[in-house]
Protein backbone atom coordinates (compact mmCIF):
# COMPACT_ATOMS: atom_id res chain seq x y z
CA UNK A 1 0.00 0.00 0.00
CA UNK A 2 1.28 3.46 -0.90
CA UNK A 3 -0.10 6.39 1.05
CA UNK A 4 0.20 10.05 0.10
CA UNK A 5 -0.59 12.40 2.96
CA UNK A 6 -1.24 16.09 2.43
CA UNK A 7 -0.39 18.77 4.92
CA UNK A 8 0.19 22.49 4.50
CA UNK A 9 0.89 25.76 6.21
CA UNK A 10 -1.14 28.23 8.20
CA UNK A 11 0.54 31.64 8.56
CA UNK A 12 4.10 30.60 7.80
CA UNK A 13 4.14 28.10 4.90
CA UNK A 14 5.45 24.54 5.18
CA UNK A 15 5.93 21.59 2.87
CA UNK A 16 2.81 19.44 2.54
CA UNK A 17 4.47 16.16 3.52
CA UNK A 18 5.72 16.79 7.07
CA UNK A 19 4.38 19.00 9.74
CA UNK A 20 7.53 20.23 11.45
CA UNK A 21 9.20 21.95 8.52
CA UNK A 22 9.31 25.74 8.73
CA UNK A 23 6.79 25.84 11.57
CA UNK A 24 8.56 28.88 13.05
CA UNK A 25 7.00 29.54 16.45
CA UNK A 26 8.96 32.77 16.90
CA UNK A 27 7.55 34.27 13.71
CA UNK A 28 4.11 32.92 14.64
CA UNK A 29 4.34 34.70 17.99
CA UNK A 30 5.50 37.87 16.26
CA UNK A 31 2.48 37.84 13.95
CA UNK A 32 0.20 37.04 16.89
CA UNK A 33 1.47 39.95 18.97
CA UNK A 34 2.02 42.62 16.32
CA UNK A 35 -0.26 41.91 13.39
CA UNK A 36 -3.25 40.56 15.31
CA UNK A 37 -3.05 42.96 18.24
CA UNK A 38 -2.49 46.58 17.28
CA UNK A 39 -2.24 47.65 20.95
CA UNK A 40 0.94 45.74 21.84
CA UNK A 41 4.02 47.82 22.63
CA UNK A 42 7.01 45.88 21.27
CA UNK A 43 9.71 48.28 22.49
CA UNK A 44 10.47 52.00 22.53
CA UNK A 45 11.40 51.90 18.86
CA UNK A 46 7.97 50.53 17.89
CA UNK A 47 5.68 52.62 20.10
CA UNK A 48 3.70 53.86 17.10
CA UNK A 49 2.05 50.60 16.09
CA UNK A 50 -0.55 52.46 14.04
CA UNK A 51 1.96 52.60 11.20
CA UNK A 52 4.85 50.13 11.29
CA UNK A 53 6.70 47.98 8.79
CA UNK A 54 8.86 45.14 10.08
CA UNK A 55 11.17 42.60 8.50
CA UNK A 56 11.90 39.37 10.36
CA UNK A 57 14.75 37.09 9.26
CA UNK A 58 15.13 33.61 10.73
CA UNK A 59 17.07 30.38 10.38
CA UNK A 60 15.50 27.17 11.71
CA UNK A 61 17.23 23.80 12.23
CA UNK A 62 15.21 20.59 12.80
CA UNK A 63 17.14 17.50 13.92
CA UNK A 64 14.94 15.04 11.99
CA UNK A 65 12.35 14.93 9.21
CA UNK A 66 9.05 13.04 9.29
CA UNK A 67 6.11 12.34 7.00
CA UNK A 68 3.11 13.73 8.94
CA UNK A 69 4.78 12.46 12.09
CA UNK A 70 5.77 9.14 10.49
CA UNK A 71 9.27 7.77 10.06
CA UNK A 72 10.50 7.84 6.44
CA UNK A 73 13.09 5.05 6.68
CA UNK A 74 16.21 7.09 7.37
CA UNK A 75 17.35 10.04 9.45
CA UNK A 76 17.89 13.45 7.97
CA UNK A 77 17.94 16.97 9.33
CA UNK A 78 16.52 20.02 7.57
CA UNK A 79 17.33 23.73 7.63
CA UNK A 80 14.79 26.47 6.87
CA UNK A 81 15.85 30.08 6.15
CA UNK A 82 13.05 32.62 5.93
CA UNK A 83 12.35 36.34 5.50
CA UNK A 84 8.95 37.68 6.65
CA UNK A 85 7.47 41.15 6.16
CA UNK A 86 4.77 42.43 8.53
CA UNK A 87 2.77 45.66 8.18
CA UNK A 88 0.50 47.39 10.69
CA UNK A 89 -2.10 47.49 7.93
CA UNK A 90 -2.60 43.75 8.33
CA UNK A 91 -0.52 42.67 5.34
CA UNK A 92 2.24 40.09 5.69
CA UNK A 93 4.33 38.08 3.25
CA UNK A 94 7.69 36.52 2.67
CA UNK A 95 9.83 33.86 1.10
CA UNK A 96 11.30 30.66 2.48
CA UNK A 97 12.96 27.44 1.44
CA UNK A 98 14.06 24.11 2.87
CA UNK A 99 17.39 22.26 2.73
CA UNK A 100 17.37 18.48 3.40
CA UNK A 101 20.53 16.64 4.33
CA UNK A 102 19.69 13.45 2.40
CA UNK A 103 17.51 14.60 -0.52
CA UNK A 104 18.79 15.28 -4.01
CA UNK A 105 18.77 18.06 -4.83
CA UNK A 106 19.24 19.07 -1.22
CA UNK A 107 17.46 22.40 -1.72
CA UNK A 108 14.05 20.83 -2.27
CA UNK A 109 11.68 23.77 -2.67
CA UNK A 110 11.14 27.50 -2.29
CA UNK A 111 7.84 29.02 -1.22
CA UNK A 112 6.53 32.58 -1.44
CA UNK A 113 3.48 33.63 0.59
CA UNK A 114 1.25 36.68 0.95
CA UNK A 115 -1.55 37.20 3.45
CA UNK A 116 -3.80 39.51 5.42
CA UNK A 117 -5.03 39.35 9.02
CA UNK A 118 -6.84 41.47 11.61
CA UNK A 119 -8.28 41.33 15.10
CA UNK A 120 -11.96 41.94 15.79
CA UNK A 121 -14.68 41.64 18.42
CA UNK A 122 -14.83 42.76 22.02
CA UNK A 123 -11.35 43.42 23.44
CA UNK A 124 -9.94 42.30 20.08
CA UNK A 125 -9.59 38.72 21.33
CA UNK A 126 -10.70 37.18 18.01
CA UNK A 127 -8.71 37.30 14.80
CA UNK A 128 -8.73 36.02 11.25
CA UNK A 129 -6.08 35.44 8.58
CA UNK A 130 -6.16 34.52 4.90
CA UNK A 131 -3.09 33.77 2.81
CA UNK A 132 -1.89 32.35 -0.49
CA UNK A 133 1.34 30.38 -0.97
CA UNK A 134 3.15 29.39 -4.14
CA UNK A 135 5.67 26.50 -4.15
CA UNK A 136 8.63 26.20 -6.52
CA UNK A 137 10.07 22.66 -6.48
CA UNK A 138 13.57 21.69 -7.55
CA UNK A 139 12.17 18.36 -8.76
CA UNK A 140 9.08 18.80 -10.95
CA UNK A 141 7.89 15.31 -9.99
CA UNK A 142 7.17 16.64 -6.47
CA UNK A 143 4.79 19.29 -7.77
CA UNK A 144 1.53 17.65 -6.65
CA UNK A 145 0.27 20.74 -4.84
CA UNK A 146 1.91 23.88 -6.20
CA UNK A 147 -0.44 26.29 -4.42
CA UNK A 148 -2.23 26.63 -1.09
CA UNK A 149 -4.93 28.93 0.25
CA UNK A 150 -5.18 29.15 4.03
CA UNK A 151 -8.02 30.60 6.10
CA UNK A 152 -7.62 30.86 9.86
CA UNK A 153 -9.87 31.91 12.74
CA UNK A 154 -8.47 32.35 16.23
CA UNK A 155 -9.37 33.25 19.81
CA UNK A 156 -7.19 34.11 22.75
CA UNK A 157 -7.57 35.16 26.36
CA UNK A 158 -7.42 38.83 27.36
CA UNK A 159 -4.04 38.31 29.00
CA UNK A 160 -2.73 36.62 25.79
CA UNK A 161 -1.61 33.57 27.74
CA UNK A 162 -3.97 31.09 26.06
CA UNK A 163 -4.74 30.92 22.35
CA UNK A 164 -6.48 28.59 19.93
CA UNK A 165 -6.67 28.73 16.16
CA UNK A 166 -8.47 26.68 13.52
CA UNK A 167 -6.91 26.70 10.03
CA UNK A 168 -8.43 25.37 6.83
CA UNK A 169 -5.96 24.76 3.98
CA UNK A 170 -6.90 24.06 0.38
CA UNK A 171 -4.08 22.56 -1.72
CA UNK A 172 -4.27 22.61 -5.48
CA UNK A 173 -2.16 22.19 -8.59
CA UNK A 174 -1.75 18.91 -10.43
CA UNK A 175 -3.86 17.39 -7.63
CA UNK A 176 -6.25 18.78 -5.03
CA UNK A 177 -6.66 18.15 -1.33
CA UNK A 178 -7.42 19.90 1.97
CA UNK A 179 -6.42 19.93 5.60
CA UNK A 180 -7.91 21.23 8.85
CA UNK A 181 -5.49 21.96 11.69
CA UNK A 182 -6.08 23.04 15.27
CA UNK A 183 -3.28 24.97 17.00
CA UNK A 184 -3.52 25.59 20.73
CA UNK A 185 -0.92 27.04 23.09
CA UNK A 186 -0.34 28.35 26.59
CA UNK A 187 2.36 30.95 27.20
CA UNK A 188 4.34 31.22 30.46
CA UNK A 189 6.58 34.22 31.13
CA UNK A 190 9.54 32.75 33.01
CA UNK A 191 11.48 36.03 33.03
CA UNK A 192 10.40 39.48 31.86
CA UNK A 193 12.60 42.61 31.78
CA UNK A 194 12.74 45.76 29.67
CA UNK A 195 15.25 44.38 27.17
CA UNK A 196 14.78 40.62 27.37
CA UNK A 197 12.27 37.90 28.14
CA UNK A 198 12.19 34.14 28.52
CA UNK A 199 8.97 32.26 27.64
CA UNK A 200 7.82 28.67 27.63
CA UNK A 201 5.07 28.19 25.01
CA UNK A 202 3.79 24.58 24.99
CA UNK A 203 1.57 23.87 22.01
CA UNK A 204 -0.85 21.17 20.88
CA UNK A 205 -1.48 20.69 17.15
CA UNK A 206 -4.11 18.31 15.76
CA UNK A 207 -4.17 17.70 12.00
CA UNK A 208 -7.09 16.29 10.02
CA UNK A 209 -7.23 15.98 6.25
CA UNK A 210 -7.80 14.07 3.06
CA UNK A 211 -5.37 11.28 2.24
CA UNK A 212 -5.13 9.52 -1.10
CA UNK A 213 -4.31 5.83 -0.79
CA UNK A 214 -3.13 3.62 -3.64
CA UNK A 215 -3.86 -0.06 -3.02
CA UNK A 216 -2.08 -2.66 -5.22
CA UNK A 217 -4.04 -5.50 -6.82
CA UNK A 218 -2.44 -8.38 -8.76
CA UNK A 219 -4.27 -9.07 -12.03
CA UNK A 220 -3.60 -10.98 -15.27
CA UNK A 221 -3.22 -8.89 -18.42
CA UNK A 222 -2.39 -10.70 -21.70
CA UNK A 223 -1.25 -13.71 -19.71
CA UNK A 224 1.14 -11.78 -17.44
CA UNK A 225 0.74 -10.92 -13.79
CA UNK A 226 0.49 -7.16 -13.42
CA UNK A 227 0.13 -4.97 -10.36
CA UNK A 228 -2.63 -2.39 -10.77
CA UNK A 229 -3.02 0.42 -8.26
CA UNK A 230 -6.48 1.67 -7.34
CA UNK A 231 -6.88 5.02 -5.62
CA UNK A 232 -9.29 5.98 -2.88
CA UNK A 233 -9.61 9.06 -0.72
CA UNK A 234 -9.81 8.78 3.07
CA UNK A 235 -10.74 11.53 5.52
CA UNK A 236 -9.09 10.97 8.88
CA UNK A 237 -6.87 12.42 11.60
CA UNK A 238 -3.24 12.34 10.50
CA UNK A 239 -1.16 13.47 13.44
CA UNK A 240 -1.28 14.85 16.99
CA UNK A 241 1.74 16.93 17.88
CA UNK A 242 3.05 18.38 21.16
CA UNK A 243 5.62 21.15 20.99
CA UNK A 244 7.65 22.63 23.85
CA UNK A 245 9.49 25.75 22.63
CA UNK A 246 11.63 27.79 25.01
CA UNK A 247 11.90 31.31 23.58
CA UNK A 248 14.51 33.87 24.60
CA UNK A 249 14.27 37.43 23.28
CA UNK A 250 16.86 40.18 23.75
CA UNK A 251 15.92 43.47 22.11
CA UNK A 252 15.44 42.51 18.44
CA UNK A 253 17.11 39.10 18.69
CA UNK A 254 15.16 35.86 19.25
CA UNK A 255 16.50 32.39 20.05
CA UNK A 256 14.31 29.32 20.39
CA UNK A 257 15.16 25.84 21.65
CA UNK A 258 12.35 23.36 21.15
CA UNK A 259 11.33 19.74 21.47
CA UNK A 260 8.47 18.18 19.47
CA UNK A 261 6.82 14.77 19.77
CA UNK A 262 4.41 13.33 17.18
CA UNK A 263 1.68 10.74 17.67
CA UNK A 264 0.67 9.77 14.11
CA UNK A 265 -2.72 8.14 13.66
CA UNK A 266 -2.78 4.80 11.78
CA UNK A 267 -5.22 4.87 8.88
CA UNK A 268 -6.70 2.23 6.59
CA UNK A 269 -4.36 -0.81 6.54
CA UNK A 270 -1.53 0.83 8.46
CA UNK A 271 -0.34 -0.99 11.56
CA UNK A 272 0.21 0.79 14.86
CA UNK A 273 2.69 3.61 14.42
CA UNK A 274 5.44 4.62 16.82
CA UNK A 275 5.70 8.12 18.18
CA UNK A 276 8.49 10.27 16.76
CA UNK A 277 10.35 13.29 18.10
CA UNK A 278 12.91 15.90 17.14
CA UNK A 279 14.67 19.02 18.42
CA UNK A 280 14.80 22.41 16.80
CA UNK A 281 16.94 25.54 17.13
CA UNK A 282 15.79 28.85 15.65
CA UNK A 283 17.57 32.21 15.48
CA UNK A 284 15.68 35.29 14.34
CA UNK A 285 16.25 39.03 14.07
CA UNK A 286 13.66 41.81 13.79
CA UNK A 287 14.36 44.87 11.61
CA UNK A 288 12.26 48.04 11.56
CA UNK A 289 11.83 49.50 8.07
Q: Are 32 and 187 in contact (CB under 8 A)?
A: no
State which residues form the domain around 92: 2-288
- DSSP 8-state class, residue 142: G
**pLDDT tens track for 108-122:** 889 999 988 888 888
Question: What does the alpha-carbon distance between residue 35 and residue 57 come to, in Å, rounded to a whole number?
Answer: 16
- Cβ atoms of residues 63 and 279 within 8 Å: yes
Measure the CA–CA gap between 8 and 272, rounded to whole angstroms.
24
Instruction: Tell me how many domains the chain contains.
Output: 1
Residue 279, pLDDT above cutoff 50: yes
Q: Is 129 helix (H, G, I), strand (E, B) or coil?
A: strand
Handedness of CA 24, 26, 29, 34 (dihedral sign): negative
More confident residue, 237 or 2: 237
User: Residue 229's pLDDT is what?
Assistant: 53
More confident call, 79 vs 17: 79
The burial class, CB within 10 Å (0-12 / 13-18 / 19+), for 18 is buried
pLDDT at 230 over 60: no
Q: Is it the case that residue 270 has pLDDT exceeding 50? A: yes
The pair phi, psi for residue 233, each rounded to 5°, is -95, 135
Residue-wise pLDDT tens digits, 143-164: 677 899 999 898 888 887 898 9
Q: What's 23's domain CATH number?
A: 2.40.160.40
Strand stretches in 121-161, DSSP E: 126-137, 147-156
Upstream peptide bond of 105 is cis (omega within 30 degrees of 0)? yes
Section 87-97 average pLDDT: 87
Amino acid sequence: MRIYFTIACCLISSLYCFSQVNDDEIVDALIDELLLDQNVKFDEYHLSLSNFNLLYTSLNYNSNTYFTGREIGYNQYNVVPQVTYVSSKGIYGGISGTYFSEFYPKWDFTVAFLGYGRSFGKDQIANYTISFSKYFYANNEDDFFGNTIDVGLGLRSKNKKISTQLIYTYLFGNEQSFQVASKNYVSFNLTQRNNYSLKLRPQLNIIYGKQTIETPTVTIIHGFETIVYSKKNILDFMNTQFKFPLQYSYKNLDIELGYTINFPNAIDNETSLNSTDFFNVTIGYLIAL
